[in-house]
Structure 1
Amino acid sequence: MQNWWNIRHDKEWIGQDDQQNPMWALQRNRRLDNRYRGMASLALNYQLNNWLSFKGRASFDKSLDQYELEAYAGTQRVLSDSNGRYILEKEFNTQLYADLMVNASGKVNQWLHLAGNVGASITDIKAHERAFNGANPNAEPGLIYPNKFSLSNIAEKSLDAQHSVEQKQLQAIFGNAQLGIKNFLFLDLTGRNDWSSTFAFTPTLAKGYFYYSLGLSAIWTDMFKLPKVFNLLRTRISYAKVGNDIASYASNPAPFTMQTTAGVSRVLLNLRTPYPGIHLEPEDNRSFEAGLEVHLFNNRLNADITVYKNNNYKQYMEVPAPPGSGFMTYYLNMGNIQNKGLEASISATPVQAKGFTWTSTINFSTNRNIVLQLSNKKIAGADTSNMFTLTDFGVNMFGSFIQEGGSWGDIYSNKELKRNDKGQVIVDENGKLSTTGTFKKVGNPNPDFMLGWNNSFYYRNFTLSFLVDGRFGGKVMSVTQAVLDYYGVSEVTAKARDNGGVALNAVLADGTPYTGKVDAANYYTIIGGRSGIGEMYMYNATNIRLRELSLSYLVPLKWKWLRSMRAGIIGRNLFFFKLDAPFDPEVSMGSGNGLQGVDVFGLPPLRSMGINLKFGF
């Protein structure tokens, strides 16, 4: 059985819900993940003549992801029953795809070249076919026989089970055309119409949804005779409109679902439905982009600059349903979320001598995101105070919500220290702090800009390269630090105890200055913990690191069967030049929407070093 400072089953110590012996969690809460995947593809081409061809393709992709949890008897009671817990979850994903295209390419005359294709495609997806079976952690005894992990050993009154599947089919016709005029002016046009089964029970099912793009680029150095300093001068501009379908079954959800909880089959009523009288529509994404590319001084100085603006309209949004409707939430298409920014790259060759060359590249990017609209005066509940929840607070000190005028990824807190009008902390005669509920934006993890500097030095057969990059701006939250502070096991709490407490600009309720120090345990148990004060655990996300360093040598060879060999050493993510947060902010920047910029006992970043061998035959 587990033996930990506050978990002792012989003394009925069950500890806190976020505590376990680390070795027990590693060895006796085993998580097994397996993936099985099979893929196949077939392509046929037929060249009718020198300018016309036919192509057909088909592919099959099927995967099975299996997850198992084996929690031994003695595991923390929140996670497991007294005899242990077993979970078996299987998820199948199947995708079938096929298309048929007619391709054409050829010169119309000496100055005009045409290329393009038309075609049709079909995609059939059966995704997240999920079968879940497991022991309910709140329904004793969990397993019939302790520590025997199989479905047949789950006690009948402890069984949780459910099955779900998402299926959809997407059919499309498409075409594109490219026009080239004298190899210096190019026009690209695309068009596509999709029909998605997710729009069943809506007018969109029959007509589908059309989207398109157009782009124009010009090579001015081929069009006109420019000064010799220009090796290349090219401009480009493009506009695109893209449509996306919606989640399976969202247009007409089932009134209820069935599942087994703690051995009892239950009917779960659906509490979410489309807004009455309004049909869901495809998402509407519109983007504009313009760019400039220039090469100068025999390609020793190059620059590539791009500006863009992207607006997402008709996104999936939610509003509260009125009492008596039978639902908790209505969803509909609404909103306008904008991204605009700039990307630039400048590369130079400062030194190019016999036997030695130095190249240097600077990359810069910045993006500004703003929620321009998330309201609709014609929709009840969709006023300017409407919010879309990415992550609700629950028992935690952080939440992520989308609001009109805000940005995607904003982090909010729900509690703060009680202060007076002057911002001074209010304490009682014993120095005890108090808190007040609030709903407050405390930061956003997205950087103001990113900057990278890459250098390569070539001396005879040696190559030395390094890359330094940084993210500047943004704020991130460390729940890890908050929990460590709450239990008094962090460095900052140790220093506070050594100093006799925490010095604050504090006053009593009547405004009298508080001259003493606040007890360290009192202070950190108020602001710390998973449900503490989020604002106190926000950190500057700026960080600059040595991303990569490598040294290699091209071995001179005279063998017929081996053309070249390069040997080298390489290191990645080696160290930080600047880091303010108590963790790597990139680690918390996952692909999911809900926990952007929040670290909750995440794994530390990896530093890697290795040997690199490349052979050319």
Structure 2
Amino acid sequence: MITILEKSYNYQNNIIGDAAPSGSQSKTAYNATTLTLTQLLNYKKTLAERHNFSALLGHENYYLNSRVLSGNKTGIIALGINELDNFTTIGGLTSYQDTYKMESVFGEVKYNLDQKYFISATLRRDASSKFASDKRWGNFWSAGAAWLINEESFMKSINWIDQLKLRASYGETGSDGSAYYGWQSLYNIKPNNTVPAYYLAAAANPALSWETNKTADIALEFSLFKNRLRGSVEAYKRASSNLIFNVPLPANAGTTSITRNIGTMYNKGIEFDLTVTPVKVKDFTWDFTLNGSVFKNEITKMPTETPTIISGTKQYKVGQSIYQFWLRQWVGVDPQTGSSIYLDDASTAGNTIYTTDINRARFDYSGSAIPDISGGIKNVFTYKSLSLSSILSYSLGGKFYDSNYSALMAVNSSYGKSFHQDVLNRWQKPGDITNVPRVDDTDATNLNAGTSTRWLVDNNFLVLRNITLAYTIPVKYVSKLKLSRINVFASGDNLLYLTPRKGLDPTTSFSGTNSSSYIPSRIFSFGANVSF
């Protein structure tokens, strides 16, 4: 059993900012308890020294209970005391809890002949409290096979191949989504002229069921030239059906959305992992690893009643990707007036019309968050007992919607607001050529260009994740201390971010959007690993 307790505090002073002139204090306590019970039975058997069998049978229960208590008060009495009792007016007080349960029964069978031919199969049955009792259980299975080609007799004469393995598999897995109570009607309690009243917060969908992912893959693993070149190449396709989404409802439905199984999509791609040892001499070795991934995503089915669904900066539609941006088409800044210019929705192929009214701006697909290729690079240099390693991650192609930058560039009437330094490049007089509109609070909505291509950037980046220098002290010295091994090291994490904009961390989300977060801090570590 694991219990997690988190507390957060938010004090806002009474001098400047959103809480001025009264000041405010908020406190939130989060408590989560999880319990996992697993029972396993394993069986192994070898017959005639050639036939190797193994089997596994298991049962698992998972339980989660999370509790939240949050309060806010305004009107500070005595400065320097940030307790709720030191504030006069209750701004909000709420508490709630969530409970989630899951039960699974699963089994696996494996067989190999002469450690050369391998087959396996799994079957599992899962039940989730996120579904009604008649939809709760889902059945999922998988099967796989592998062939160790280098063990064949016809490969023995090829001495530059150390290992060659072909494998393939097909399987089905299930996802129960993120909504704990999508199959039930939920109601909120709010005062109606001081009288308690119920209103519909979430519509019930008792037909809600498991989202299913069907994955097929084939891969080749290899080691060549006495292990100087090794790696793998894999191709896969995953089709997801009965996708679980919150679907918008009309205003007369009494609530804004309902959780449904609405559509089908697929992901397909290629992944590779290659390691080469360019230099290997008596005391020095250099290993270089490059891995990468390319893939495509496409929606193949949407419900008839909602053929398109807008979700934030995306619009889901058959033939498009869930990572495709759906944004207003921002063109630039008028050099004569400093206004934001948009492509007018009335534009046609032969007649391009521009507008400064954001409400007339055309929405259109504006590129995808999916990169052309992404992956990592690793170098390891070893000289005797000394080693130096580095890890980088990279991405080429794709788009990123920088909502943090959008918030820092938005001009409005809020006082105590922070701005990005790029605001200094704003339009100021006729003839100015810039990509930052004029500062004018009376026309802020049109000028700020919310949810538009103004905030979309090319998402090419290179991040230096880690550098580590390590030294293993020779055994003849370590043994005198009655120890078996001592390794001392110095390392640095998050040392360099080459990103589309300073301060942008595009690694936070594959969907190409960010939240209020900073680039991870640089961390420098020094230590020793000791074995007794």
Secondary structure at the counterpart of residue 151 of structure 2: helix
Cα shift at 1:211: 0.8
Structure 1 equivalent of residue 71 of structure 2: 133
Shift of 1:237: 0.9
Partner of 1:459: 383
Q: 1:398-427, CA deviations, whole angstroms, 9 ceiling, x for partnerless residues? A: x34433333233333346324586898858
Q: Which residue matches 1:283?
A: 211
Paired residue for 2:129? 197
User: What letter is aligned with 1:269?
Assistant: Y
Distance 1:147 1:267, change over 3 A: farther
Alpha-carbon contact 1:259-1:267 (below 8 Å) kept: yes
User: Comparing both chains, which one has the higher relative contact order based on Cα–Cα distances under 8 Å and sequence gaps of 6 or more?
Assistant: 2
CA apart distance, 1:299: 1.2
Number of equivalenced pairs? 505
Return the match for 2:3 from 62, 65, 72.
62
Q: Which position in structure 2 is the counterpart of 1:437?
A: 361
Asked whether the equivalents of residues 81 and 142 of structure 1 are also in contact (C-alpha less than 8 Å), the reply is no
Question: How big is the shift at 1:484?
Answer: 5.0
Instruction: Give the aligned partner of residue 459 of structure 2.
Output: 541
The residue identity in structure 2 corresponding to 1:61 is: I
Distance 1:388 1:458, change over 3 A: same
Out of 155, 162, 186, the position equivalent to 1:231 is 162
**Partner secondary structure for residue 199 of structure 1:** coil
Residue 99 to residue 339, structure 1, CA distance change in 2 (3 Å): same
Question: In 2, distance between residues paired with 1:491 and 1:323?
Answer: 41
State how far apart, in whole Å, the 1-side matches of 2:514 and 2:163 are.
Answer: 46
Does the residue aligned with 1:252 lie in a helix, a strand or coil?
A: coil
1:415–1:533 Cα contact (<8 Å) kept = no
Q: Is the 8 A contact 1:388 1:401 kept in 2?
A: yes
Please state how far the C-alpha of 1:329 moved relative to its aligned partner.
3.0
1:98–1:121 CA contact under 8 A, matched in 2: yes
Secondary structure, counterpart of 2:526 in structure 1: strand
Give me the whole-angstrom Cα distance separating, in 2, the residues matched to 1:524 and 1:579.
34
Partners in 2 of 1:150 and 1:259 — Cα distance? 27
SS at match of 2:203: strand
Contact 1:400 1:409 in 2 (8 A): yes
Structure 2: how far apart are the matches of 1:570 and 1:295? 30
Name the counterpart of 2:272. Answer: 344
Q: TM-score, normalised by structure 2?
A: 0.82
Offset at 1:121?
A: 2.5
How far does residue 320 in structure 1 lie from its aligned partner after superposition? 4.2
1:407 aligns with 2:321: yes
Matching of residue 312 in structure 1 with residue 240 in structure 2: yes
Residue in 2 that maps onto 1:572: 493
Q: Quick check: 1:124 aligned with 2:63?
A: yes
Q: Distance in 2 between matches of 1:464 and 1:150?
A: 50
Q: Answer with 96-105 or 230-239: which moved more.
A: 96-105
Instruction: Assess, with a 3 A threshold, how the Cα gap between structure 1 residues 211 and 271 changes in structure 2: closer, same or farther.
Output: same
CA contact (8 A) 2:505 2:519 kept: no
Q: 1:611 is aligned with what amino acid? A: F
2:454 alignment partner, SS class: helix
Residue among 98, 104, 111 paired with 1:179: 111
**In the alignment, is residue 188 of structure 1 matched against residue 120 of structure 2?**
yes
Give matches, 1:143-542, under 5 Å: 149-152=82-85, 155=88, 158-200=90-132, 202-205=133-136, 208-226=137-155, 227-245=158-176, 247-254=179-186, 256-258=187-189, 266-274=196-204, 279-321=207-249, 324-375=252-303, 377=304, 381-382=305-306, 384=307, 386-389=308-311, 391=312, 399-414=313-328, 416=330, 417-419=341-343, 434-435=357-358, 436-482=360-406, 485=409, 494=424, 501-503=431-433, 521=439, 531-532=449-450, 534-542=452-460
Change in Cα spacing, 1:107 to 1:315, as seen in structure 2 (3 Å) is same
Counterparts in 2 of 1:169 and 1:588: CA distance versus 1, 3 Å? closer
Q: Is the 8 A contact 2:325 2:368 kept in 1?
A: yes
Q: Deviations 1:310-330 (Å, cap 9, x if unpaired)? A: 122112234444565544434
Q: In 2, Cα distance between the equivalents of 1:184 and 1:231?
A: 14
Instruction: State the shift of 1:362 in Å.
Output: 1.7
Runs of 4+ aligned structure 1 residues displaced above 6 Å come to 144-147, 422-425, 496-500, 522-529
- Residues 330 and 217 of structure 1: CA distance in aligned 2, closer, same or farther (over 3 Å): same
Choose the corresponding residue for 1:551, options 447, 463, 469. 469
Residue identity matched to 2:288: S
Q: Secondary structure in 2 aligned to 1:536? A: helix
For 2:523 and 2:471, how far apart are their aligned partners in 1? 20
* Pair 116,546 (structure 1): closer, same or farther in 2 beyond 3 Å: same
Residue 294 of structure 1: CA displacement? 0.9
CA deviation string 1:318-376 (max 9, x = no partner): 4444565544434321211221111111112222222222222221212222222222x
Distance 2:521 2:231 in 1: 33
Contact 1:486–1:525 (Cα < 8 Å) also in 2: no
**Does the 8 Å contact 1:66/1:91 carry over to 2?**
yes
In structure 2, C-alpha distance between the alignment counterparts of 1:536 and 1:148, rounded to whole Å:
44
Aligned equivalent of 1:89: 28
